[in-house]
């Protein structure tokens, strides 16, 4: 007749099973390709609608800044808002998920990050952007930005090579804030003639 396992024996078996299960799980951080940071080096000879301008409210697109009595030559740049993260660790990201461009241009995508209660304004928040795949057709860079109090801003710079083929280029951009992965947001770059 077999003896029933005592509490310690049952606990030990469960602990070993949990260790085996977690050891077999893949770590998706291996699929992250961190986007290199740089300081703003873009010196356009012509103004573009998505040039970054600095306002009292923080970083903004040139097309979305209006001066009294001056006609803006561009329509406003449309943005979308998505929520990423989970539970109490969620953030709202306002950004452009669809960018139309020509070959040889540089496009800026401002990411406005907001969370309930705001970000800690007493220190610099570490924000890293990453791609989930190696992009051979587009070059991505991360630059700093400025936002409202309690808001974080970063800029995804997309350089489109002059010899790129027309078409649609889909990719996912991930956000890691203070070492925590919040997940990815989709972006579509449409290269036109």
Both tokens assigned to 2: 């077999």
In this prediction, residue 97 carries a pLDDT of: 97
Instruction: Give, for all 193 residues of the chain, the pLDDT tens digit.
Output: 555 545 444 444 433 333 333 333 333 445 889 999 988 655 556 889 999 999 999 999 999 998 888 888 899 999 999 999 988 889 999 999 999 999 999 999 999 999 988 998 888 889 999 998 888 899 999 999 999 999 999 999 999 999 999 999 999 999 999 999 999 999 999 999 8
Strands 98-102, 180-192: pairing kind: parallel
Domains assigned to the chain: 28-192 (2.60.40.10)
Q: For tokens 């979308």, name the residue.
A: 80
Nearest C-alpha neighbor of 173 from the set 111, 86, 106, 100: 111
């Amino acid at each position: 007749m077999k003896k029933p396992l005592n509490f310690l024996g049952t606990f030990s078996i469960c602990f070993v099973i949990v260790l085996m299960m977690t050891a077999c799980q893949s770590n998706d951080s291996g699929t992250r390709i961190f986007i290199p940071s740089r300081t703003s080096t873009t010196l356009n000879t012509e103004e573009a609608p998505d040039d970054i301008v600095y306002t009292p409210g923080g970083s903004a697109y040139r097309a979305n800044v209006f001066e009294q009595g001056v006609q803006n030559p561009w329509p406003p740049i449309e943005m979308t808002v998505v929520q990423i993260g989970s539970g109490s660790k969620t953030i709202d990201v306002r950004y452009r998920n669809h960018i139309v461009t020509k070959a040889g241009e540089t496009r800026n995508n401002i990411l406005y990050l907001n969370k309930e209660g705001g970000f800690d304004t007493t220190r610099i928040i570490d924000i890293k952007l990453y791609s989930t795949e190696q992009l051979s057709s587009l070059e991505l860079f991360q630059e700093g930005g400025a936002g409202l109090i309690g808001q974080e801003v970063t800029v995804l710079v997309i350089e489109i090579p002059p010899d790129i083929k027309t078409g649609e280029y889909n990719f996912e951009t991930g956000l890691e804030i203070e070492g925590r992965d919040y997940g990815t947001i989709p972006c579509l770059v449409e290269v036109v003639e």
